[in-house]
Each structure stands twice: as structure tokens, then as C-alpha cells.
Structure 1
Amino acid sequence: MSDLKKILFYVERSLHLPFLEPIEEYLSRNGLAVTAFSAPDFFPGTPEIPQWGLPEAQIRRLEQKAPFYANLEDFEPDVTIVADACHFRIPQIRNVINVGHGMICKGAFYTDSEITRRENLSQLLLVPGPLHRRRLLDNVFIPIRLTGFIKSDQLFGQQVQTREQFCERLGIDPSKRIVLFAPTYNPELSAIHCLQEGIRKVADKDTVLLIKLHNMTEDRFKELYANIAASNHSIFYLEDADYSGMMHAADLMISDVSSIFIEFLLLDKPVILFNNPRLKEFPLYRAEDIEYMTRDAAVLVNSLEELLQAVRTELAQPQRRSAIRKRYAMALDHGRDGRSVQRAAEAILDWVHGRNLPEKKDMDVILLEDDDAKPEIIRQDIERLRTNAPGHRLRISVFGGQESGGILDATHRPGSFHCNELYACLRGSQSPLTAILRGGLVVPFDWPKWLENHFRWNPKTGVVKAMTEPVLATQCMQQLSNSPRPITNPDVLLFGLLVTGIGQSIAGLRLPSDCAMIHSDLYPHISGTFPASSPTEFITALGLLAQSHEMQTRLSIDCYMYQADTKARILEQIKTLRQLGQNREATNLAASLD
């Protein structure tokens, strides 16, 4: 029987293909995996909403390489490969590896932001260079592998297109100077809107101008620049297939805040960056991001006149900033040897075959059951906790419930729980963090990870609570999703809050919860007992104890838990709907119980 793993490449957008296709080709060509493609339903995009999915022609082309699945679950992959944190579109897929698709931040990636924290939703993250890895360590706690920039294999690999080959294909005199204009598409960042017809002046009898626009550029600008090229024999409008050739052929690049200028720096050739006057209006502008900190490797211009002068100067003195460019190349692209795709494929295979995985973490868990909970119910709770904690070895202590006769894979103290016993158990914990929760809860996959991450993001925290109050969960989800109506379905809330609220928390001292994680810094202070008749009261008491020792209590927005019992869950949902004024929906749901 074949031990080949099934690897799915999920293409959220067309611009992800240059990063996903080469890895799929490497795996298939070498017989290392069974591969397939999938994508969301195609949406062409608008000026306000970016494109997603793939047009029919691209799907047909991919099907020549590997099967395409409209319903990705039909493939039953062992792992799914993405080029961005697009988990909201694939809620049913647990094992995801993100290979990334860029080298810069744009205020969202490789920076201290809530968007960056989405990377924790994957099991493994591949990054281009050591600088990217360093910038992620404060927010991303999954394994990070350095593989090099996948697209740079087209610059350094054996199959690169030379300047001579490119010029011959396009009918360009290779003795002429060649300038590449490659802007981004955002109106606040792009040079497209600023230069327009003025870009013609770069071309002359000795200088050829190549124009390569971003895939996300508005059609009206694509048409404008295509017409500029059509009217001048020294100007050429390029398509995606020209990447390797245009990069090697060009003597100089004109760009703005596009990631392609970083890619061009890898070749140690001069770059001119046009400053859009609206630059700082970009909603995610951050001066400390990669695309701004690296601008000392380029010449910055603010007008067409400055641009034309800079073109003349840089073509005459191309080595002026060579040392700076080389320094950034080492920091931003590991290897630069044409083997980035191979390293990415090897990292994926290591993960899917269980090689080089991080050690599981030991964690103590205190499970508080109702007095009348039967052994089978307790066993199901234990199994649910373990199954959904793949990165942890859970040592579970059960308090409450009926006598189990030693059938449980946990220590068990049946009958009513006593606070002094719970405090003694906490004081004796051997793990850096201990989880306490009520029995009968459905927990998100990897639930310990989502709670423990908040201790890293919030120093001096003693207690992190899970979200277990459905009304508060619904309100948070409505705010995060901008939904006009409240979302009360517990399954949707569990996944939606994780994906849209990852890394977010609020002050939680006074907010009730049936699950919390306790930091070991609090253990020595647990010396007495607090009167508590329920798990919620017990957890609240621990929060007050943390406060008395100058430690925070946080309520995680991204870790929602709800009742496993179907009838109890529906009754809770009905109650939530009524509290939120959704009486018709509550009545309809109540009818389902009859």
C-alpha cells in the first residue's frame, strides 16, 4: 500500500499561483505525494473588494497538472497548502501549512498586528528570510521554517530566462537600456495614479520601458497603460509569464511600495521608488515595516521630473547602493540558490510524515463534573479534551461525577467537589499552565494553544478565561464580522471567533466563564480556600486572587466553548436570541424541540 500523502493546494486568489504551483510541480514530478487543487467560487473583484477564486480558464490549465476539486473535502487531504491565512474559507480543514506569498508587510504581515496573529491558525509557516522570522516571533508561536522566497527560484534557478532570450522573444535590442515599471495597485501607495501618461517620457531612442502591472490593478488602469505601450514601439506591456525574463533583462526598476522592488533588490540592480503623496493615508501604514525600512537601498522621488533625473543617474552609476542591496538580500531571501521550492516541499513532507515536529507540551487539567455525571459522560469529556489538544499531553484530574470504578484515563475524585481539594491540586501542578473547566463543554480544536497564547501577548497575566457566555460571544462576533444580525449558532461562533478574533482579549475579571487557564506564577499564592459552589465561582475567585497579586485576568475572544448536550445547547441559544430581542427566531428554534 502506498505511503504517499494527499496534499491539497488551496488557491484563494490567482496571485497565489506563483507560490503554490511550483511546489505542486516539484512534488508531482518527483512522485513524492498525491496532489490536487481547489479554490473558492470565482469572484472577479471590484475596486473595493479584491478578487478571489479562479476563472474557468485557470482551472482548466491546473487540471492538466492535477485534479481540481470544487468541494475540497472530497479529496480528504492529509494537509492543505495555502499562500495566505485564508482559514475562514476552509473551516472544515484542520491541517494547514502556509507558504506565504510576499516579502513585505503592508501594515499587516511580518509586523506587530492582529492580522499577523492569524498565522497561528496554521500548523507550520514557511518564510522567505531570517528577517521575516525575527519579526514574527513576538506574535506567531507555531513552527516557522526558513525556505527562501519561492518566487526567487525564477531568478536564481537553472531555468531562468536570460536577458538575451527575453529580448529576442520581444524583439528588443539588447544593447539598449531597459527600465522596468512595476507598481502596486493600492490608490494610496501606487505610482499608477500619479504618473499615468507621464511614464512615456522614460522611454527614448536608447531606452526601452517595460510595464508590468499588479494582477489586482483596476481594469481602467490596465487599459490606460496597455494603450500607452501600444502607441510607442519602445514601450512594452507585459504579462505574468514574463517575470523571470523581465527581471533579468531590466537594468533598473521603477516602483513604489510593491513587493517586487524587494525581489529586484535580490539581483543587486538599482531601484527608484515613487512616493505617492497619499502614502500615509494608507490605513495600515507603518513606517517601521519592511517596505519602508528598506527604502534606503533605493532612490526616492516625488515627481515626474525627479523620476526622470534619477533614471539618468542610476543608469550611469548602478553600483551606488550595491552594499545596502546585498545586505537586505541576505536578510530577506534565504539561500538565493534556486532551491527555495525544494526546501518548501521538504518542509511540507517533514510535517505530513511527522518528522521534525515540536515536542508535545505537558499540561495539567482540572475537570469539574456535575455530581450526577455518569462515567460514560465523563469519559466523553476527557476524550473530547484530548482529541482537540494535539500539541499537548494532558494530565487530567476529574472532580465530581459518579464513581467510575477506575475506567477513566485520569485521576478521579467522585462526588461534590471541595474548594480545598481543588486548591491543593492547583498548588501541586507540575505544568507551567493549568486549565480548569466545567464538564460537558465543546472546545475548539487546539484549545490549549488559543488560551496559552494570551499569556505571551499579555505579560503579567495570571488567569486567561475562555469565552463561554453565548450572549457576549454573539455580541463580539457581530462586531468583528460587521453582521447586521446576531449570529447565535454555536458552531459558527466557535470557528468565527477563532478566525476573526484570534489574538484578541478583553479585561475579564468580572466576566463569568466556565473555563480558565492559570499561570504557574499564581500557584504559590494559593494558600487558602474561597467559598465557591460552582466552576464559574471558583474561576472568578482565582481571578480575584490574581488581582490581589497584581496579575491580570483576560477573557479570550478567540476561544469559545459551548454545551455539548444538544437540548441544553438549543435552550441556551433560544435564551440568547430572546435576550438580544430576536423573539421570532427564538420561537422558531423552540419549535424544533417539540
Structure 2
Amino acid sequence: MTVKKYLFFISQNYSFAILRPLQKTIKENGGEVRWFLYGSEINNEFLQRNEVKIESIKAIKEYDPLAVFVPGNTVPSFIPGLKVAVFHGFNSGKLNRRGLEDHFNIRGCFDLYCTQGPNTTEKFQLLAQQHGHFSVVETGWPALDPLFVKTSKADADNRKPMILMCSTFSRNLTCAPILLETIKRLSQSGKWQWKIQFHPKMDAGIVDQYKAIQSEHLTFIETDNVIPLLQEADVMLCDTSSVLIMFLLQGKPVVTFNNISPSDYLLDINQPSQLELALENALSRPKSLMANIERFISETHPKQDGQSAQRVLDAVDSMIDSGKRPAKTKPMNLIRALKMRKELNYWKF
């Protein structure tokens, strides 16, 4: 039997955790995976011993993958395989320079979008009808498969409540510098345990400030896999980072600071002086808030069986085996193609 070959095309460290559940499922199905790492923001040391790196576009062509999985926005057309978008996060409402939701920006790179839930599937299906050169299947997000594996919390009743603070790197949206002194004061009280984890692109100066306030009650965490932190924490403090959606999907409350689209499933504040009371409210899990969170889950990522990676593979196999392709071919994207060739130093046509 021919072994099915797949390629992971990544440029950010967070992509490792996103794609590893998919890699696990591929191997369980008898397939194999190669990783292609490119750009200056990826660290080769995050590769694990059993993960195989492929070194060049020439080697990718020789490998000839059935499908290329991308937790990002672009992938070059000159590498073989079905181009599959699996997303690097959820739609957090961020707008691009044209005032449109960036999550739904169609760049003409993908054959298949594997969406997370009804509130993204419906929009992508409308865009598929409009553009005509890609397909859409709601699979759930493979990155979350480990999130829905139940963990042991035998000591949960015997420890302090844990607050996980996460923040985006955007200077206009981050709450980190504004809340620094308030978090320092609250952590010194010892009432709660704090863990701090930022987007990898966070300003180094802000990172250093938070590392400087570490204590027995506050720890700064640097990791490529945030899921264990999400499972451990009782409440999240955030701003507009899409990681808050992952936290909500566990049925846990989130306090946000100046969220760009505050909703009834969030406890949003706009003054540092409001933080302590908001966290206390979140920890009490008010019924109306929890009901709103459950509604949000049903719209955003209702599949919580830990089988999203298998559904992605099934969608890819179905598209390949049927031979069916969208009615239109993808646009040429000449400028983007030239940029990718330059970035990857590949000029063979």
C-alpha cells in the first residue's frame, strides 16, 4: 500500500503545537509527515526528535506531498499538493488596513479551508461562492484536539484560584503595559496564583517588565504550547488576542481589557481599577455569563470530541479521491509569487 505523504509549511513557532495533533492522526492512519520551516521567526530547536525536517523546495518537489497544511496566510503555488488552510487562530475581530476582518481575507492561495465552527463556516462558504476557486469543510480546529482531553485535577480544590494572563503584541491593543502595576499589586497580595504568557511577537521590553515582577505568586511562561496553561487556569485575563477564544471553549470565564468587540460572553473592563472586582466576578461564574459562554461555544467550535484532525484528513482525502475541484482556478498572484520565490530563494520555473 502506498504511504500517504503530507507537508507542514510553517514560519512561526506556535505552528508546532497547532499541527502536532494533525501529525499524530496522520501517523495513526499510516501516513508520514515532513516539516518545512522558513523565515527568521521560526526556531528549528522546537522540532522534536521524531519529526523530520525537509530542507528545500527541490526536496519538497521530490517528496511530492498529497497535501500541504498551512496554519498561516500564504503558501506558494509552485510546491505540489492540495493547499489546505488550517488557521493559526480564531477570528478575534481584528480588522486589516481596508477595514475588513482579517480572518476572512482571501489571498488566493488555498484549495480547501477547514473551518472551526458555524460562525466561520458560513462566511467562508459565502466567500467560496463569490470567488469560486476553493472549497470549505467544517472540521473543527485540530490544534484543540488535546484541549478536549480530560486532565486530572485532583488538587484543584486545594489550591488558590489561578489567573492566566495572555496578551496580543499589537501596541494599540495590548493590555500588558497598562495593567502591569495593577497585576504586580494583586499578585503581591497572594490571593491568587498568576501565570503570564504573551504572543511571541510581544515587545521585549514589556516581556522584561513582567519577568521582573515574578514571585512565588506570579510566573512568566515562555512556551510554544499554551494548551496545558489553558487547562490549568480558572480564569483568563486578556485583551483582543484570539487565545481567549480557546479558553472560552472550555466553558471558563474571560476578563478582557478594552476588547475591540466586547460581547456578553466576556467581562470587559476599561480601567485598571476595575480589574480585581472583575476577576472576583469571573471566579464566581455567574449563571447569565456561563449561559452566554455556552451559546458562544455552540457557534464557534461545537465539535469537542477531540477528532478534528481526523475530520481534516477525511476532508482532504475526499477532495483528492473524488477528483472534484472548485469551478475556477486560483488567481495568478504574480506579485505574491515573486515575493515567495525571493524569500525561499527558488527561481526554477
TM-score category of the 2 structures, normalised to the smaller one? 0.7 to 0.9
Residues 114 and 330 of structure 1, relative CA distance in 2, 3 Å threshold = closer
* Alpha-carbon contact 1:163-1:245 (below 8 Å) kept: no
Q: Could you say which residue in structure 2 is the equivalent of 1:534?
A: none
Q: Could you say which residue in structure 2 is the equivalent of 1:121?
A: 109
Q: Could you say which residue in structure 1 is the equivalent of 2:26?
A: 27
The Cα of 1:121 is off from its aligned counterpart by: 2.4
1:184 aligns with 2:168: yes
1:200 aligns with 2:187: no
Residues 27 and 309 of structure 1, relative CA distance in 2, 3 Å threshold = same
1:95 aligns with 2:79: no
CA RMSD of aligned residues (A): 2.8
Query: SS of the residue aligned with 1:121?
Result: coil
Q: Could you say which residue in structure 2 is the equivalent of 1:150?
A: 142
* Alpha-carbon contact 1:272-1:311 (below 8 Å) kept: yes
Larger radius of gyration: 1
Residues 123 and 241 of structure 1, relative CA distance in 2, 3 Å threshold = closer
The Cα of 1:358 is off from its aligned counterpart by: 4.1
User: For the residues of structure 2 that align with 1:102 and 1:360, how far apart are their CA atoms?
Assistant: 25
Q: Could you say which residue in structure 1 is the equivalent of 2:207?
A: 222
User: For the residues of structure 2 that align with 1:156 and 1:139, how far apart are their CA atoms?
Assistant: 30
Q: Could you say which residue in structure 2 is the equivalent of 1:135?
A: 123
Residues 144 and 300 of structure 1, relative CA distance in 2, 3 Å threshold = same
Query: SS of the residue aligned with 1:263?
Result: helix
Q: Deviations over 1:430-473 (max 9, x none)?
A: xxxxxxxxxxxxxxxx2xx64xxxxxxxxxxxxxxxxxxxxxxx
What amino acid maps onto 1:22 in structure 2? P
The Cα of 1:143 is off from its aligned counterpart by: 1.2
The Cα of 1:309 is off from its aligned counterpart by: 1.7
Alignment TM-score, normalising by the size of structure 2: 0.83
* Alpha-carbon contact 2:90-2:103 (below 8 Å) kept: no
Residues 332 and 308 of structure 1, relative CA distance in 2, 3 Å threshold = same
User: For the residues of structure 2 that align with 1:319 and 1:253, how far apart are their CA atoms?
Assistant: 18
1:527-538 equivalences under 5 Å are none
Q: Could you say which residue in structure 2 is the equivalent of 1:337?
A: 305
* Alpha-carbon contact 1:164-1:249 (below 8 Å) kept: no
Query: SS of the residue aligned with 1:196?
Result: helix
Residues 131 and 65 of structure 1, relative CA distance in 2, 3 Å threshold = same
* Alpha-carbon contact 1:128-1:148 (below 8 Å) kept: yes
What amino acid maps onto 1:222 in structure 2? V
1:3 aligns with 2:8: no
User: For the residues of structure 1 that align with 2:24 and 2:35, how far apart are their CA atoms?
Assistant: 12
* Alpha-carbon contact 1:162-1:249 (below 8 Å) kept: no
Higher relative contact order (Cα pairs below 8 Å, separated by 6+ residues): 2
* Alpha-carbon contact 1:275-1:301 (below 8 Å) kept: yes
Q: Deviations over 1:385-439 (max 9, x none)?
A: xxxxxx6xxxxxxxxxxxxxxxxxxxxxxxxxxxxxxxxxxxxxxxxxxxxxxxx
The Cα of 1:263 is off from its aligned counterpart by: 1.2
**Which of 26, 39, 52 matches 2:37?**
39
* Alpha-carbon contact 1:182-1:253 (below 8 Å) kept: yes
* Alpha-carbon contact 1:8-1:81 (below 8 Å) kept: yes
Q: Could you say which residue in structure 1 is the equivalent of 2:280?
A: 312
Q: Could you say which residue in structure 2 is the equivalent of 1:65?
A: 51
Query: SS of the residue aligned with 1:135?
Result: helix
* Alpha-carbon contact 2:19-2:143 (below 8 Å) kept: no
Residues 86 and 164 of structure 1, relative CA distance in 2, 3 Å threshold = farther
Q: Can you give the 5+ residue segments of structure 1 that lack an aligned partner in the other structure?
A: 44-50, 168-172, 280-291, 362-390, 392-445, 451-493, 501-594
Q: Could you say which residue in structure 1 is the equivalent of 2:341?
A: none
What amino acid maps onto 2:162 in structure 1? I
Residues 334 and 311 of structure 1, relative CA distance in 2, 3 Å threshold = closer
Q: Could you say which residue in structure 1 is the equivalent of 2:270?
A: 302
Query: SS of the residue aligned with 2:170?
Result: coil
Aligned residues: 329
The Cα of 1:265 is off from its aligned counterpart by: 1.2
* Alpha-carbon contact 1:147-1:334 (below 8 Å) kept: no
**Which of 252, 258, 263 matches 2:246?**
263
User: For the residues of structure 2 that align with 1:113 and 1:205, how far apart are their CA atoms?
Assistant: 40
Residues 87 and 339 of structure 1, relative CA distance in 2, 3 Å threshold = same
* Alpha-carbon contact 1:5-1:34 (below 8 Å) kept: yes
**Which of 166, 169, 175 matches 2:159?**
175
Residues 348 and 62 of structure 1, relative CA distance in 2, 3 Å threshold = farther
User: For the residues of structure 2 that align with 1:499 and 1:132, how far apart are their CA atoms?
Assistant: 27
Query: SS of the residue aligned with 2:268?
Result: strand
| Percent identity of equivalent pairs | 20
The Cα of 1:215 is off from its aligned counterpart by: 1.7
User: For the residues of structure 2 that align with 1:359 and 1:67, how far apart are their CA atoms?
Assistant: 30
